């Protein structure tokens, strides 16, 4: 097994951080979709109640 240079280790860290950023982004987008759906549901319910 060969030793990694500091540059290689830094590259590995960047790749790992990039993967974490992508996962975090996916989680944020999923949460935004959930909140958007909840908002739409509440808004539809409000409009329904106002129309009664």
pLDDT of residue 1: 53
- pLDDT digits over 1-52, tens only? 568 788 888 888 888 888 889 999 999 999 999 999 999 999 999 999 999 8
* DSSP codes joined into one string, 3-35: PPPHHHHHHHHHHHHHHHHHHHHHHHHHHHHHH
pTM tops 0.75 = no
Question: Could you give the CA distance from residue 45 to residue 50 in angstroms, rounded to a whole number?
Answer: 9
End-to-end CA distance of the chain, in Å? Answer: 74
DSSP at 2:
P
């Amino acid at each position: 097994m060969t030793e990694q240079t500091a540059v290689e280790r830094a590259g590995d860290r960047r790749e790992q951080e990039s993967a974490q950023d992508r996962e975090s982004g996916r989680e944020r987008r999923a949460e935004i979709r959930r909140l958007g759906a909840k908002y739409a549901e509440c808004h539809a319910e409000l409009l329904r109640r106002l129309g009664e």
